[in-house]
């Protein structure tokens, strides 16, 4: 079950990851531009009194922000293209981490004060910002790997030359400017930007959650009127495509309770409700097991549609299974002193129009065509001939079988309204013993 859910969610997750990468690319460019503007504003007043160390540090910062802007631009461009693949998130995430670690490495080397002061540099405050970009993505593994990489990288920088503090005369004086108001303003700017990115990540997560809830509610509302088996088709093709409808060959099964009116007219309303509910539950269970779609319930009558692979064979199997299911139920009722239940079942194969009709206030899955009418007339014919089930030779032939494969006897051809010429039929009498579904399926498979 989890594997099936993962497979169905794959395209949605990929789309979410692609959108996240586009957003991250735009935010990288915005962050680089914003920090660059802040950098210019806070550095300009110090330019006249700057020494070689500060100028070198400023050059590193300018190169770093330009590089980060380009990383964001290429990430955004890649995520917009049709060449984007899910694995590409990993090199981009690695670029985020390398950007921070390489900047700190250059800063330490420029000052010459040893790696023990690594976290004193303003660029160390980019770590929460980079992690905020990781939080934008829908894959928590990316954020875990980024966190471990940054922690390991920073620990390596600190331990690389630990104990060489200070390593050069005057190194403390060279570090002092990094705690002046301008660098602290840069730190505050980085905190603000990291908070903003996390706020965007939270808003995006909320939007995804709302979208998922809306989609779940929409599909739940649709499946209140449409068969549950169409839920996957609704997700893949969309409602508009299903409303256009299709023409296809399908297996049609009609089932109806004999003498329903007379049976229920003396029942209390609650008993009628329980009886019909139990009947529909049993029919629905058999239809679901054989892959049939219940087109509609019409009182005690039910139309079940079969399409796709082995549709005709599944239609026949469903007919036999329904006959046995209702027979068992009738015996249980009889042992409890309740009246027995008998049904008539008609099966046919032919071309139908199938689709979703109606408006958004009331939708309905329906099939139309002469094949539907013939299936209904075959069910009515069971009363006249005293049979439990009548199947046209069309549905039997479509299954690649013979009447004997399903324990049926051949009937004399009959003229049926809506069909030119006589229709070849097969049926089951009330006392006939039908073969099991497994035996019938094996016979059909051996012929194919």
pLDDT digits (tens, 9 = 90+) for 89-98: 888 888 888 8
What does residue 238 show for φ and ψ, rounded to 5 degrees? 90, 160
What does the pLDDT read at residue 347? Answer: 96
Question: pLDDT at position 438, please?
Answer: 44
Work out the pLDDT band at 445, boundaries 50, 70, 90.
very low
Neighbours of 370 (CB within 10 A): 15
What would the pLDDT profile of 322-360 be if each residue is shown by its tens digit? Answer: 999 999 999 998 888 888 899 999 999 999 887 777 665
Question: Between 53 and 307, where is the model more confident?
Answer: 307
pTM passes above 0.85: no
Whole-number CA gyration radius for the chain:
36
State residue 228's pLDDT score: 59
* pLDDT confidence of residue 346: 95
**With 0-12 CB in 10 A as exposed, 13-18 as middle and 19+ as buried, what is 246?**
exposed
The model's confidence at residue 305, banded by pLDDT at 50, 70 and 90, is very high
Mean pLDDT along residues 144-173 = 67
Domain ranges of the chain: 2-221, 245-447
Tokens matching residue 52:
């070689």
What is the C-alpha to C-alpha distance for residues 179 and 187, in angstroms, rounded to an integer? 10
pLDDT at 41 over 60: yes
The string of DSSP letters for 105-122 reads: HHHHHHHTS-GGGGGGSG
Residue-wise pLDDT for 255-289, tens only, equals 999 888 888 888 888 889 999 999 999 999 999 99
Task: Return mean pLDDT, the chain.
Answer: 76
Candidates 175, 177, 172; CA nearest to 46 is: 177
Q: Diameter of the chain by CA atoms?
A: 112
Architecture of domain 245-447: 2-Layer Sandwich (3.30)
For the segment 102-127, what is each residue's pLDDT rounded down to a tens digit?
Answer: 877 777 766 665 666 666 676 776 77
Lowest mean pLDDT: which of 29-38, 318-327, 434-443?
434-443
pLDDT at 4 over 80: no
pLDDT value for 2: 39
In this structure, the strands spanning 343-359 and 389-392 are parallel
In this prediction, residue 220 has a pLDDT band, given cuts at 50, 70 and 90, of low
pLDDT 10s digits, 374-403 = 999 999 999 989 999 999 999 999 999 999
8 Å CB contact between 291 and 306 = yes
- Residue 293 has a pLDDT of 87
Asked whether 42 and 189 are in contact (CB, 8 A), the reply is: no
As a whole number, mean pLDDT of residues 125-141 equals 75
Min mean pLDDT across 136-150, 168-182, 339-353, 384-398 is at: 168-182
Lowest mean pLDDT among 84-88, 243-247, 326-330, 442-446: 442-446
The predicted structure's pLDDT at residue 376:
92
* Contacting residues for 126 by C-beta, under 8 A, at least 6 apart: 99, 100, 103, 190
């Amino acid at each position: 079950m989890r594997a099936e859910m993962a497979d169905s969610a794959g395209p949605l997750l990929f789309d979410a990851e692609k959108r996240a990468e586009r957003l991250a690319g735009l935010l990288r460019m915005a962050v680089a531009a914003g920090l660059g503007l802040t950098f210019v504003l806070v550095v300009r007043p110090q330019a006249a009194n700057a020494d070689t160390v500060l100028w070198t540090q400023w050059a590193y910062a300018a190169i770093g922000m330009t590089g980060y802007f380009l990383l964001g631009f290429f990430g955004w461009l890649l995520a917009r293209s049709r060449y984007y693949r899910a694995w590409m998130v990993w090199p981009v995430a690695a670029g985020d981490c390398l950007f921070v670690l390489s900047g700190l490495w250059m800063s330490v080397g420029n000052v010459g004060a040893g790696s023990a002061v690594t976290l004193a540099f303003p660029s160390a405050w980019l770590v929460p910002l980079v992690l905020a970009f990781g939080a934008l993505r829908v894959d928590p593994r990316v954020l875990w790997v980024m966190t471990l990489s940054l922690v390991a990288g920073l620990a390596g920088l600190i331990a690389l030359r630990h104990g060489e503090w200070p390593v050069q005369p005057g190194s403390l004086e060279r570090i002092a400017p990094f705690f002046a108001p301008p660098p602290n303003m840069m730190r505050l700017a980085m905190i603000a930007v990291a908070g903003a990115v996390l706020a965007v990540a939270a808003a995006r997560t909320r939007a995804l959650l709302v979208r998922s809830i809306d989609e779940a509610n929409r599909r739940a509302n649709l499946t209140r009127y449409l068969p549950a088996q169409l839920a996957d088709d609704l997700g893949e093709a969309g409602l508009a495509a299903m409303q256009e409808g299709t023409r296809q060959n399908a297996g049609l099964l009609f089932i109806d309770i004999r003498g329903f009116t007379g049976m229920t007219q003396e029942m209390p309303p609650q008993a009628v409700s329980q009886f019909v509910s139990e009947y529909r539950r049993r029919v629905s269970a058999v239809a679901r097991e054989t892959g049939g779609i219940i087109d509609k319930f019409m009182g005690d009558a039910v139309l079940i549609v079969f399409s796709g692979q082995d549709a005709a064979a599944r239609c026949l199997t469903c007919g036999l299974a329904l006959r046995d299911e209702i027979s068992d139920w009738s015996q249980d009722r009889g042992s409890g002193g309740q009246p027995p239940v008998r049904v008539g079942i008609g099966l046919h194969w032919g071309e139908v129009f199938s689709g979703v009709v109606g408006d958004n206030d009331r939708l309905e899955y329906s099939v139309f065509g002469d094949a539907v009418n013939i299936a209904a007339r075959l069910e009515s014919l069971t009363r006249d001939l005293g049979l439990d089930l009548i199947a046209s030779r069309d549905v039997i032939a479509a299954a690649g079988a013979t009447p004997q494969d399903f324990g049926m006897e051949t009937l004399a051809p009959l003229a049926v309204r809506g069909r030119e010429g006589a229709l070849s039929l097969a049926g089951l009498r009330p006392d006939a013993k039908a073969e099991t579904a497994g035996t019938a399926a094996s016979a059909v498979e051996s012929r194919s």
